[in-house]
Amino acid sequence: MRKTKVITRVTKFTILFLFLIAPAVLFGQGNGKVLTQTVRGTIVDAASGYPIAYASVALLGKPGMGAITDSLGHFIIKNVPVGRHDIQASFVGYESSVFKEVLVTSSKGVFLNILMKEAIQELSEVTVLPRLNKEQPLNKMATTGARMLSVEEASRYAGGMDDPARLVSSFAGVSPGMSTNGISIHGNASHLLQWRLEDVEIPNPNHFADLSILGGGILSGLSSLVLGNSDFFSGAFPAEFSNAVSGVFDMKLRNGNNQNMENTIQVALLGLDFASEGPLTKRHNSSYIFNYRYSTTGILENAGIVDFGGILDYQDLNFKFNLPTRKAGTFSVWGTGLVDKSESEFEKDTEEWEYLGDQMESSTKQYMAAGGITHGYFFNDNTQLKTTVAATYFRHEGFVDFYDFDLEKYPNLDLNRNNTNLIFSTVLNRKFSARFTSKTGFSFTKMYYDMEMNLSPHVMQPLELISKGDGNTSLIAGYTSSSIGLSDRMTLNVGLNAQVLALNNHWTLEPRAGVKWQATPKTSFALAYGMHSRMEKMDVYFVRTQSTRTGSVNKNLDFSKAHHVMLSYGCRLSDNLNLKVEPYFQYLYNIPVIADSSYSVLNRVDFYVEDALVNKGKGRNLGVDVTLERYLNDGVYYMVSGSLFSSKYRGGDGKWRDTKYNRLFIVNCLGGKEWMVGQNKQNILGINLKMTIQGGDRYSPIDWASTLADPDKVVQYDETKAFSKQFSPLFMVNYTISYKINKKKVSHEFALKGLNATGCKEFYGHDYNFKTGEIKPLREATSLPNLSYKLEF
């Protein structure tokens, strides 16, 4: 009820703001001229990354509008009309590459980084279709289970909320959430995914990370205003990725405009953004880009405009400086960071109390930062060395206090943990020929930790030490990966990854392999295998039980491990319609579990562990992902993705059960339409819709006897039948309505983005009502309309 009032008040404030500024924008005078913009970019070899000189770039359907790249691979096309355009790059000996429906606005120039693949055979020998930028991931060693994420999609897709983590929920095999953006792939828990930024593993980059679900948060701290196109891997990923079991989210920050300064101001229900980019020195083509966001809730609360009955305050910053040199290569300085603060509302009127949670008061603060310096250097046109020195930081402070009916306070939880990683990584990429490319890399991560958690076993009882650790250790990884053209239609990707954890000297050796066959110009088949592993969160290794308060019971835990096998069939049904079918099998082993219990980390949700674990658990995920996608063309796009799967696990008691995330099926229908309207058809009206139906949340039966015997009446579950029950399927609808007004050197965009318009309810557990003696499931609907206004100039 309280949350509904808060959203209503903030929505009214935002609507008032939009109505105040709308007349000035809508009725501002235009000059009636056709608006144009500049399209710039670089063209590079996909395998080596080296610039391609004298390649041709053309706007399809616009005769005479194009350019030729210079000696550094740069091109510039001036006076491109506002709207969407298809852009094709061509060069002798290379397969043509097409960027579909590139959006050109009046306020900001367009920059494209075009990758071109060298043709193995003579072009006259076989019909070669142009490579669409959406069909292939950025990583050329990927065989199956990889998808390139477009930043423009993140801002357009319904339900994306400008959040890349929510965007991937539209992809086959990913289970979407509403209150959180945790990414569950193929029935795996969210914390088994690896987050990466600029080729470095980073802590969970989401606001209020790991609180409601381990591995996710409320929304991403990485803004789509600064993110570049990135890769998302859902299985059997290449050898360069270590310390991940379910998938990898490999994100990149884009370079700023090195010719002109451009700015963005955005006012929205979720936050106020300011972004800027431009040249540092035009002479050296250096640039900067940054984005800062402060939560609207925090601003309104601090200004006294709205009383939220608590605090929900967050802010984030992302930046990148790109510094090319003439002879010493290219340097980049990049970083991301966020600060979160939350305090719950505590009702002091004891007559209103019904549940244990009503007697709790909590506060949490979180800090996350990651940043580094990256240097890329070409020894020649086919050999590049890329080195990164980086640091990451995560800090979590939190407490929960319990109040009895006399309002006497009893500490219930006290948490303080710090994790700092210093990272050095280097990779040598060499293209030997059009048929053979290799990549070899090494990374060293020095991990510093200082953590302590105290928890009360029952309310009104003293705190007890759960985990404590202070020191440092290392994670060392190395890999080699090669892409080999066996013929003009068949490519083999093969590699090996190894890593060792110095904390307990456990190590892994992981082979990866994949083969892709381009059977016809429109159809392809692929098969990939990979062995993968992941260490536990650092706090898990330092758990202390009642019998071992002076020693860590989990310090010798081994890596969780998995075998991935994935098939892939792709068919281009037309120039804009693509079908992909990917059956997969994942076998997990060495999984930490509690001995003689149904518990397994494969179902882990909580941000802490308080039990001794052993590596005796297993899991298996089997299913098929299907995607039918029509790329945006003539203002229309759609994507239908579906997954049928089974996710099982074996706990410490040796019994196989459904995992918490075994929803059995997921179906997404996503689509949208754009209209060019207004004077000279230069404004854009867009309507986007996403509908999802998926299997319901799983839960365990209530153990009534244990619950009634518990002194706190905390609901206890029958763990012998863990996750054997399931709620009815969930049906969710998200929408986005936007209107962009292009004027000379400036654009205005109004948008209404709705999450969970159907009011679908998620399951959060059961609560005991001590007034009525009833136990009811706690199910809530997180429905959020996000009104926004964006000014670009």
Q: What is the pLDDT of residues 532-568, one digit of tens each?
A: 999 999 999 999 976 666 688 999 999 999 999 999 9
Sequence letter at residue 660? K
Residues in a beta bridge with 422: 391, 446
Mean pLDDT of 758-773: 91
Which pLDDT band holds residue 224 (cuts at 50, 70, 90)?
confident
Sequence letter at residue 728? S
Question: Contact at 8 Å (CB) between 189 and 603?
Answer: yes
Which pLDDT band holds residue 28 (cuts at 50, 70, 90)?
very low
Sequence letter at residue 527? L
Q: Output b/e per residue, 353-374; b: 16+ Cβ within 10 A.
A: beebeebbbbebbbbbbbbbbb
Q: Output b/e per residue, 70-90; b: 16+ Cβ within 10 A.
A: eeebbbebeebbbbbbbbbbb
Q: What pLDDT shows up at residue 25?
A: 45
For the chain, give the percent of residues with pLDDT over 90.
73
Q: What pLDDT shows up at residue 302?
A: 72
Q: What pLDDT shows up at residue 133?
A: 64
Is residue 24 pLDDT above 70, yes or no? no
Of residues 171, 97, 190, 193, the one with CA closest to residue 138: 97
Q: Which residue has 């949490």 as its token pair?
A: 364
Under DSSP, the state recorded for 435 is S
The topology under which CATH files domain 31-133 is Immunoglobulin-like (2.60.40)
Of residues 341, 337, 395, 339, the one with CA closest to residue 369: 337
Residues 246-295 pLDDT 10s? 999 999 999 999 999 999 999 998 889 999 999 998 778 899 999 999 99
Q: What pLDDT shows up at residue 303?
A: 66
Q: What pLDDT shows up at residue 4?
A: 39
Is 0.85 surpassed by the pTM of this model? yes
Which pLDDT band holds residue 13 (cuts at 50, 70, 90)?
very low
For the chain, give the percent of residues with pLDDT over 70.
92
Residue 662, both tokens: 């075994």
Which pLDDT band holds residue 307 (cuts at 50, 70, 90)?
low
Residues 581-615 pLDDT 10s? 999 999 999 999 999 999 999 999 888 899 999 99
Q: What are the residue boundaries of the structural domains of the chain, listed by start?
A: 2-17+159-792, 31-133
When mean pLDDT is compared across 32-36, 61-65, 129-133, the lowest value belongs to 129-133
Is residue 15 pLDDT above 60, yes or no? no
Q: What pLDDT shows up at residue 61?
A: 85
Residues 650-662 pLDDT 10s? 999 999 999 999 9
d(CA 110, CA 159): 25
Is residue 124 pLDDT above 50, yes or no? no
Farthest CA pair distance, the chain:
87
Is residue 304 pLDDT above 70, yes or no? no
Please indicate whether the domains covering 2-17+159-792 and 31-133 agree at the CATH topology level: no
Q: Characterize the bridge pairing of strands 746-755 and 247-251.
A: unpaired
Class of domain 2-17+159-792: mainly beta
When mean pLDDT is compared across 80-84, 192-196, 297-301, 488-492, the lowest value belongs to 297-301
Burial (CB < 10 A; 0-12, 13-18, 19+), residue 698, is: buried
Query: In Å, what is the CA distance from 443 to each residue of 478, 482, 496, 591?
Result: 6, 18, 14, 25
Give Cβ neighbours of residue 475 (< 8 Å, ≥ 6 apart).
243, 444, 445, 447, 499, 500, 501, 502, 535
- H helices within 242-311, ranges in order? 296-302
Residues in a beta bridge with 528: 514, 566
Is residue 718 pLDDT above 80, yes or no? yes
Under DSSP, the state recorded for 357 is G
Residue 651, both tokens: 């706990």
Residues in a beta bridge with 639: 629, 670
Mean pLDDT of 773-792: 89
Q: What pLDDT shows up at residue 266?
A: 94
Is residue 9 pLDDT above 60, yes or no? no
Residue 446, both tokens: 């020095």
Give Cβ neighbours of residue 75 (< 8 Å, ≥ 6 apart).
40, 41, 42, 43, 55, 57, 67, 68, 69
Is residue 2 pLDDT above 80, yes or no? no
Residues 637-693 pLDDT 10s? 999 999 999 999 999 999 999 999 999 999 999 999 999 998 788 999 999 999 999
Residues in a beta bridge with 164: none
Question: Contact at 8 Å (CB) between 185 and 641?
Answer: no
What DSSP line would sit under 471-535, residue for residue?
A: EEEEEEEEEEEEEEESSSSEEEEEEEEEEEETTTTEEEEEEEEEEEE--SSSEEEEEEEEEEEEP
Burial (CB < 10 A; 0-12, 13-18, 19+), residue 654, is: exposed
Residue 336, both tokens: 């991301």
CA 676 to chain centre: 31
Q: Which residue has 């009046």 as its token pair?
A: 106
- Mean residue pLDDT across the chain: 90
Evaluate the CA torsion angle 193, 195, 199, 200 in order and state its sign.
negative
